[in-house]
Amino acid sequence: MPELPEVETVRRGLSPVMEGQVITKADVNRPDLRWPFPDRMAERLTGQRVERLRRRSKYILADLSSGETLLVHLGMSGRMLVSGDPLGVFVHDHPAPEKHDHVVFHMENGARITFNDPRRFGAMDLMETATAESHKLLSVLGPEPLGNDFHETHLINAFRGKMTPVKAALLDQKIVAGLGNIYVCEALFRAGISPRRKAGRIAKPRVAALVPIIRQVLRDAIEAGGSSLRDFRQADGELGYFQHSFDVYGREGEPCRSPGCTGTVGRIVQSGRSSFFCAQCQR
């Protein structure tokens, strides 16, 4: 499932062709994805200007001139692909419709944004912009890791007394929003912290040091266009490239990249997810 860097990469790719533009027509080609689409979704989107395109955790949010906000979740295999862009950023002509093109936005500038999702684990919803933060999917989220509310004091307090592994704590969206398995593994490696360590037993200075490390891992991934492991594509259809920079994720049995370390990357399963780490470097 795309994590924060992948979703932010898609948002940035969509912004030039959606922000400030009117949706002249919205095609909704099925009644649902992961759950049913909102009532009259095509009608409520058609004719509305996209005032702002933003991201909250792993969700893309489009604030509309109607006072509603469109929430988009890519799910496991969802893609939002741009074609026919008059700005010249996207060189793709409008492709022929495909089987899994479930929602299509026709923009007044001639661009077309197609939401394609073979597995249909994605989702869309409409909500009042003024009360968007109270939406059931958004109200439970913790601070954005790249925002001002995610700081050393917050993470130290969140970890205090917590006897779950630090890997699970960082995946808890109530503690920090948008982190997933890939970037938690990478951040813990850079911090030299074992994914097995109990969150509440990590010294405060080490917890505090995690904050800038997490931010840098995410910034590096965004700069590389995210990580393409299976289905992820940027808005122009290109792959992300951060997977070529992984220090530990997916590198089981390969040499550790820490200078002077003679260890190899290992893998354990925690809560049904693979954790990759170097037992020599991460304590």
**DSSP letters of the chain?**
---HHHHHHHHHHHHHHHTT-BEEEEEE-SSBSSSBPPTTHHHHHTT-BEEEEEEETTEEEEEETTSEEEEEE-TTT-EEEEES-TTSS--PPPPPP-TTEEEEEEETTS-EEEEE-SS---EEEEEEGGGGGGSTTTTT----TTSTT--HHHHHHHHTT--SBHHHHHH-TTTSSS--HHHHHHHHHHHT--TTSBGGGS-HHHHHHHHHHHHHHHHHHHHTT---SSS---TTSPPP-GGGG-SSTT-TTSBP-STT---BEEEEEETTEEEEEETTT--
The predicted pLDDT at position 76 comes to 86
Report the SS3 class of residue 281. coil
Give the integer Cα–Cα distance in Å for 214 and 219.
9
Tokens at residue 149, please? 């509310």
Is 145 catalytic? The answer is no
Contact 22, 107 (CB under 8 A): yes
Which of 142, 148, 124, 113 has the alpha carbon at shortest distance from 60? 124
**Per-residue pLDDT for the chain (283 aa), expressed as one digit of tens each?**
688 988 998 999 899 999 999 999 999 999 999 999 999 999 999 999 999 999 999 999 999 999 999 999 999 888 898 888 665 655 556 777 788 999 999 999 999 999 999 999 999 999 999 999 999 999 999 999 999 999 999 999 999 999 999 999 999 999 999 999 999 999 999 999 999 999 999 999 999 999 999 999 999 988 876 554 444 344 454 544 445 578 999 999 999 999 999 999 999 999 899 999 999 999 9
State the fold for domain 4-134: N-terminal domain of MutM-like DNA repair proteins (3.20.190)
Q: Which of 2, 16, 145, 165 is catalytic?
A: 2
34-70: b or e for each residue (b if 16 or more CB lie within 10 Å)? Answer: eeebbeebeebbbebebeebebbbbbbbbbbebebbb
Could you tell me how many residues make up the chain?
Answer: 283
Contact 225, 236 (CB under 8 A): no
Q: Domain spans of the chain? A: 4-134, 152-278
Q: Which of 12, 54, 206, 273 is catalytic?
A: 273
Q: Which of 55, 58, 112, 233 is catalytic?
A: 58
The predicted pLDDT at position 227 comes to 54
Is 3 catalytic? The answer is yes
Q: How far apart are the first and last CA of the chain?
A: 28
The predicted pLDDT at position 241 comes to 40
Give the integer Cα–Cα distance in Å for 219 and 83.
27
The predicted pLDDT at position 95 comes to 73
Is 19 catalytic? The answer is no
Contact 6, 57 (CB under 8 A): no
Half-sphere exposure of 180 (CA within 13 A, CB side): 17
State the fold for domain 152-278: Helicase, Ruva Protein; domain 3 (1.10.8)
Residue 132 has a CB neighbour count (10 Å cut-off) of 18
DSSP readout, 205-231? HHHHHHHHHHHHHHHHHHHTT---SSS
